[in-house]
């Protein structure tokens, strides 16, 4: 069969969908809704997974914490020298951080104030930040801070401005903003305020020999397991958090949240397929006569079946790509209804847009689930339409 004939059958199939608009809309409308939901959930899930992966990639190989009574407590700096002496450890750096509840126009949010050792900690690009205005912190800084774009936007602040933070516990601090940073992962940096280590100690009331945790960097990540065991032997109250463990935890959390919505729209997709099957299986009198005439003038059974299947393919493609566009439009409106569910605990952090990303595998999956089930559901009705006897169809009457 020539390509020209296939194109003619494609054109006839498209014309039939237009002629029988009520039947077309009955299938297309719910398919658009299902694929819009599927696309929105997939875009957000992939975006969150990508941001989680990027966030984990800039974490230290091992984070060492001290546990007392099942709670994270301050860790003595004496551990730093002991960890630094271990084989394969290239650096061990103390860090002081905590949450700062602040009232903003959107309500109560929590910023993360992180104090870093400017001489030992990999800074700026090393922790996933890109300075877009001003500079990063340098050794000798005191009372200075670099903040994210989201923070600068909320407080209308720029490099060189001074800002006073007062949390709901009554703690106050004044910082000079020396730089504003962006990050490839907004979920990682939207709530972050980076200050020198001593500035964070003063704000949170830490002693000079205390830290929140210790960031451990290795010469080769392959040695994480062995080094973690050596650190655990240093004390009974030590907890180890590895980069791989954080990556697995993040992916599991976001995958589980996306799975709930996937179950919902797969159920709806099954309903759409049943509707499509019912619409295709009901051959009206006019359509039956039309098929009989076509077969009487030389059309084959395969031609009729191809037209009916092409109708399903066109309908499925319209619903799939149209649903994707609707899903993008829904996310452009800040995804009301699913944003808080996906962000979970992150909703107490400052407002930031949902990360959106579409992997090639996810795009292929959406095309498959949007087209394949609908076409399969109409195979039998297409075959039934193709085997109608011409004389029976032409002579049939009301």
Largest CA distance in the chain: 98
Average pLDDT, stretch 77-94? Answer: 88
Contacts of 190 (CB under 8 A, 6+ apart): 148, 150, 151, 349, 350, 351, 352
Triad 73, 344, 157: Cα angle to 5°: 80
Count CB atoms within 10 A of the CB of residue 327: 25
**Mean pLDDT, the chain, integer:** 75
Give kind and range of the element (H or E) at residue 322. Answer: helix 301-332
- pLDDT for 345: 47
Mean local confidence (pLDDT), 143-155: 82
Comparing 1-5, 65-69, 343-347, which segment has the lowest mean pLDDT? Answer: 343-347
Percent of the chain with pLDDT over 90: 2
Lowest mean per-residue pLDDT among 91-95, 265-269, 308-312 = 265-269
Which of the four pLDDT bands, split at 50, 70 and 90, describes residue 398?
Answer: very low
What's the average model confidence in pLDDT over 276-296?
57
At 276, the pLDDT band (50, 70, 90 cuts) reads: low
The per-residue pLDDT for range 196-245, each reduced to its tens digit, is: 888 888 888 898 899 999 989 888 888 888 888 888 888 778 888 888 77
In this predicted structure, the answer to whether residue 162 has a pLDDT above a threshold of 80 is yes
Per-residue pLDDT, averaged over 71-96, amounts to 88
Per-residue pLDDT band for 397 (boundaries 50, 70, 90) equals: very low
Q: What is the C-alpha separation between 171 and 168, in angstroms, rounded?
A: 8
pLDDT tops 80 at residue 20: no
């Amino acid at each position: 069969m020539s390509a020209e004939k296939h194109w003619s059958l494609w054109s006839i199939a498209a014309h039939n969908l237009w002629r029988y608009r009520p039947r077309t809309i009955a299938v297309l409308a719910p398919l658009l809704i299902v694929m819009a939901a599927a696309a929105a959930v997939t875009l957000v899930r992939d975006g969150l997974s990508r941001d989680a992966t990027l966030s984990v990639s800039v974490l230290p190989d091992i984070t060492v914490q001290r546990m007392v009574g099942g709670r994270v407590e301050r860790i003595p700096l004496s551990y730093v020298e002991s960890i630094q002496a271990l084989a394969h450890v290239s650096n061990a750096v103390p860090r002081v951080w905590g949450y700062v509840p602040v009232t903003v126009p959107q309500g109560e949010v929590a910023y993360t104030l992180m104090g870093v050792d400017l001489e030992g900690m990999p800074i700026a690009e090393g922790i996933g930040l890109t300075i877009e205005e001003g500079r990063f912190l340098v050794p000798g800084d005191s009372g200075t801070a670099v903040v994210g774009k989201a923070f600068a936007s909320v407080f209308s602040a720029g490099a060189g401005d001074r800002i006073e933070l007062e949390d709901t516990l009554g703690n106050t601090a004044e910082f000079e903003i020396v730089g504003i940073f962006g990050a490839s992962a907004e979920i990682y940096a939207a709530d972050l305020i980076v200050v020198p280590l001593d500035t964070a100690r003063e704000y949170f009331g830490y002693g000079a020999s205390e830290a929140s945790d210790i960031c451990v960097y290795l010469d080769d990540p392959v040695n994480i397991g062995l080094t973690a065991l050596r650190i655990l032997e240093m004390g009974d109250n030590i907890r180890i958090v590895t980069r791989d463990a954080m990556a697995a935890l993040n992916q599991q959390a976001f995958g589980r949240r996306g799975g709930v919505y996937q179950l919902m729209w797969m159920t709806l997709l099954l309903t759409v397929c049943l509707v499509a099957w019912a619409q295709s299986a009901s051959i009206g009198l006019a359509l039956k006569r039309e098929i009989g005439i076509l077969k009487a003038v030389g059309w084959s059974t395969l031609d009729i079946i191809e037209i009916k299947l092409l109708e399903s393919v066109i309908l499925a493609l319209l619903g799939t790509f149209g649903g994707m566009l609707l899903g993008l439009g829904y996310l452009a409106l800040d995804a009301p209804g699913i944003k808080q569910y996906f962000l979970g605990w992150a909703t107490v952090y400052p407002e930031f847009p949902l990360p959106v990303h579409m992997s090639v595998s996810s795009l292929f999956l959406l095309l498959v689930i949007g087209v394949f089930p609908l076409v399969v559901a109409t195979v039998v009705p297409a075959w039934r339409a193709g085997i109608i006897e011409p004389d029976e169809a032409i002579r049939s009457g009301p």
